[in-house]
């Protein structure tokens, strides 16, 4: 059964088989998943799993193998960034010059909306766009989180060391302060919805990031 916006309502639950039984979980965003010829009902976890599997199989794996064999002489334009997410995991994503911090802001807002109150921690910006991203997704495939959307990776020593070694090149250095400045303002703008917790947080954040906060009255609890 379809609603006006094409989403399914009722009657279908996740059909992924686990331990020889259908999962039965609630349909993720009311959608069916898979190629247009074979659409199947999936819960969020199984939809994320299918997404991870298909991007790894058809995108990351062929490109990653070619890179390992030295068959790639250059990458698509753009940059691949590595950041630590507010949930502690690592994201490897891609953007273009001058817009990397905008992508970071979008991701930060998504986590903020889920209740996280930490900024991203930028670790590396590497030359090469979507093909470089795919090659790195392949290289660190063992650490990939497959049960959730968001192309997240476990913060393994290997991955962190790799990111720290790559670092942020001189010509992209301004992305970090631009982002940090935005974060300070964003946190300040959203303080009203957060009450006193945010004011505590502002105090904490000042140290590691050395933010320049606008002067504001701190109301101490009675």
Q: In the complex, which residues of this chain contact Zn ion (CB under 5 A)?
A: 14, 16, 23, 25, 43, 46
* E strand or H helix that includes residue 80: strand 79-84
23 or 72: CB nearest Zn ion: 23
14 or 120: CB nearest Zn ion: 14
For residue 146, the minimal CB distance to Zn ion (Å) is 13
Q: Is residue 76 a contact partner of residue 129, using CB atoms and an 8 Å limit?
A: yes
Residue 122 tokens read as 């930028």
For residue 46, the minimal CB distance to Zn ion (Å) is 4
Q: What share of the chain is helix, strand, coil (3-state, %, to 5)?
A: 45, 15, 40
For residue 39, the minimal CB distance to Zn ion (Å) is 15
For residue 44, the minimal CB distance to Zn ion (Å) is 8
14 or 202: CB nearest Zn ion: 14
Contacts of 51 (CB under 8 A, 6+ apart): 149
Residue 143 tokens read as 């650490």
14 or 134: CB nearest Zn ion: 14
């Amino acid at each position: 059964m379809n609603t006006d916006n094409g989403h399914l309502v009722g009657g279908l639950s996740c059909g992924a088989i686990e331990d020889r039984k259908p999962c039965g979980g609630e349909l993720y965003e009311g959608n069916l998943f898979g190629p247009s010829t074979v659409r199947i009902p999936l819960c969020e976890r199984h939809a994320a799993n299918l997404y991870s599997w298909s991007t790894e199989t058809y995108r990351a794996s062929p490109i990653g193998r070619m890179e390992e064999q030295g068959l790639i002489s250059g990458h698509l334009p753009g940059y691949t960034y590595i950041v630590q997410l507010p949930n502690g995991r690592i994201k490897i994503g891609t953007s273009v010059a001058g817009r990397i911090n905008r992508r970071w802001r979008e991701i930060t807002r998504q986590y903020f909306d889920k209740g996280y109150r930490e900024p991203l921690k930028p670790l590396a910006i590497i030359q090469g766009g979507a093909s470089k991203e795919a090659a790195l997704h392949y290289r660190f495939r063992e650490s990939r989180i497959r049960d959730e959307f968001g192309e997240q990776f476990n913060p393994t020593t290997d991955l962190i060391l790799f990111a720290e070694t790559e670092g942020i090149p001189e010509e992209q250095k301004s992305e970090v302060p631009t982002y940090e400045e935005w974060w300070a303002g964003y946190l300040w703008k959203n303080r009203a919805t957060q009450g006193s917790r945010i004011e505590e947080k502002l105090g904490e954040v000042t140290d590691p990031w050395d933010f320049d906060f606008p002067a504001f009255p701190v109301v101490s609890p009675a």
